[in-house]
């Protein structure tokens, strides 16, 4: 448990720093520097890209974590990792071709309620690729038991970049269009930095030899796309549907409420970064005794910490909403509902990691 406690603590600290910066962005800078329409537009672009991310990644970020520790030789590990890097192209290239030939139809459908979306539809595709390959390279680092830097890139880097862009916009150094492109650019840069870090931990060899257990790997990858897509759809489909069916400023109100609620989920997210590869390793070694201890401890500790955060939010939510424009208080009820759901998630400990990495992963579907 030493490595778990050490990296979980660091990840929690990094994640809260990221959420602190994000809170400044979401609650103060976005709401005061941009109109509600543009806040909703940026939220819509990123949420839709997040829905597409598991499909663009072709499930490889989960597959790396599950199967890497089952390969014992350097040659098999290298071949496996390189396959996982190239496999997403099976989806990315066809999607890109469909987008080129059907761009107008896709754009008109997505912008049927909000014309503002039409000019930025292509950014959804670009952001989805950046999200997907970031997760692939982060998984590459995770299986080397190095999660802290990746967590910094995941939780802090893009939020800090967005802060700088918002400040530039406030001082009229960039236009609102450049701000939107810049936010997407930050995610692309984040992916490239993560790639360099992953390669520094374990340098790639651009040769793919015969990989053992390949049929099970591909079967898992294909099925986990569905599970990962469903999980992301549950998290992001609400913002997508709001942006598609009602005026886009409602996405802004809803996005702020979701962000406040997600603070409860920080300890869970922090633990998951290191818990997932360790859980996969214990399952591959069939060490069920240690896995059971790990599961119980994660459940108890997460519930206690998340419960305290839940109380802090619920008891102070009215004061928090007084700090931002009045219209955003329409999302108050959403905060209570999502906060309670995230508290229940914490009670379940690392059960998702166990299901995703076990032979019973089909249950997730």
- In this predicted structure, the answer to whether residue 197 has a pLDDT above a threshold of 90 is yes
Distance CA 111, CA 99 (A): 15
Q: What is the mean pLDDT of residues 9-31?
A: 84
Task: Residue 276: name the closest of 298, 304, 305 by CA.
Answer: 298
pLDDT of residue 164: 97
- In this predicted structure, the answer to whether residue 365 has a pLDDT above a threshold of 60 is no
Number of domains in the chain: 1
pTM of the predicted structure, to 2 decimals:
0.79
Give me the domain span that covers residue 340.
Answer: 2-364
For 69-108, give the DSSP string: GG--SHHHHHHHHHHHHHTTHHHHHHHHHHHHHSHHHHHH
pLDDT in tens, 289-317: 888 888 888 888 888 988 999 999 989 98
Task: Residue 150: name the closest of 160, 163, 141 by CA.
Answer: 141
Within 10 A of 333 (CB to CB), how many other CB atoms are there?
10
What is residue 204's three-state secondary structure? coil
């Amino acid at each position: 448990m030493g490595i778990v406690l050490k990296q979980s603590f660091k990840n929690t600290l990094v994640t809260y720093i990221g959420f602190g910066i994000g809170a400044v962005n979401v609650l103060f800078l976005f709401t005061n520097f941009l109109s509600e329409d543009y806040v909703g537009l940026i939220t819509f672009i990123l949420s839709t890209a997040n829905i597409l991310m598991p499909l663009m990644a072709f499930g490889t970020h989960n597959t790396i974590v599950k199967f890497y520790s089952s390969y014992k030789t350097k040659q098999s590990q290298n071949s496996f990792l390189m396959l996982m890097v190239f496999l997403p192209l099976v989806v990315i290239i066809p999607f890109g071709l469909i987008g080129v030939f059907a761009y107008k139809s896709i754009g008109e459908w997505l912008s049927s309620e909000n014309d503002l979306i039409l000019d930025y539809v292509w950014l959804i595709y670009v952001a989805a690729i950046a999200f997907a390959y970031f997760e692939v390279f982060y998984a590459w680092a995770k299986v080397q038991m190095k999660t802290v830097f990746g967590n910094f890139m995941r939780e802090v880097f893009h939020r800090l970049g967005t802060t700088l862009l918002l400040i530039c916009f406030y001082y009229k150094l960039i236009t609102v269009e450049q701000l939107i492109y810049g936010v997407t650019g930050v995610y692309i840069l984040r992916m490239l930095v993560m790639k360099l870090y992953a390669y520094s931990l374990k340098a790639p060899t651009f040769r793919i030899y015969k990989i053992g257990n390949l049929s099970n790997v591909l079967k898992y990858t294909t099925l986990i796309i569905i599970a990962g897509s469903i999980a992301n759809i549950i998290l992001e489909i609400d913002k997508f549907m709001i942006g598609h069916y009602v005026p886009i400023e409602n996405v802004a109100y809803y996005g702020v409420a979701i962000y406040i609620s997600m603070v409860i989920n920080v300890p869970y997210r922090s633990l998951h970064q290191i818990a997932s590869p360790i859980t996969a390793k214990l399952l591959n070694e069939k060490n069920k005794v240690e896995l059971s201890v790990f599961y119980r401890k994660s459940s108890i500790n997460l519930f206690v910490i998340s419960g305290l955060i839940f109380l802090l939010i619920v008891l102070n939510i009215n004061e928090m909403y007084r700090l931002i424009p009045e219209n955003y208080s329409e999302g108050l009820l959403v905060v209570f509902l999502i906060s309670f759901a995230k508290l229940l998630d914490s009670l379940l400990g690392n059960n998702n990691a166990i299901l995703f990495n076990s032979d019973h992963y089909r249950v997730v579907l």
